[in-house]
Homo-oligomer: A and B are copies of this chain.
Amino acid sequence: MEVSFRVSRPRPGLIEGKYPAECPSRIVLNHLTSRWGVLILLALEQGPRRWGELRREIEGISEKMLASTLRTLEADGIVHREAQPVIPPRVDYSLTNRGREASRRLLPLMDWIADNADDIVAPR
């Protein structure tokens, strides 16, 4: 299935463009495409998750990295954290509108990777 992703706009070189070192876009890029950030986005794109659900679903993530990546994405306004007033305590994580905008743009790449990864890795 072919979907047209191309957004027509001039795309200048990186230096004179939008991704010089230390600029906001580089910071946000690093957050969203970090090793765990992208997997958290992918998990939450499927719906709200509790801490323990994320921990189990994102195989290999440590408690420390889950906590710090969620904090980063929450500070970016990508992830919403909601402590439920219940006993025992429960915290739900979900995507904000901004987070959904980002994850929606990440999905075509993720699908392409899932479809092509075996071919890419196989020849080794």
Contacts and interface: CB of A to CB of B under 8 A. Distances in A.
A14 interface: yes
A91 interface: no
Contact of A15 (B3, B30, B57, B113): B57
A39 interface: yes
A18 to B, nearest CB: 4
A65 interface: no
A97 to B, nearest CB: 11
Contacts of A1: 7
A104 B6 contact: yes
Nearest to A56: B15
Nearest to A45: B11
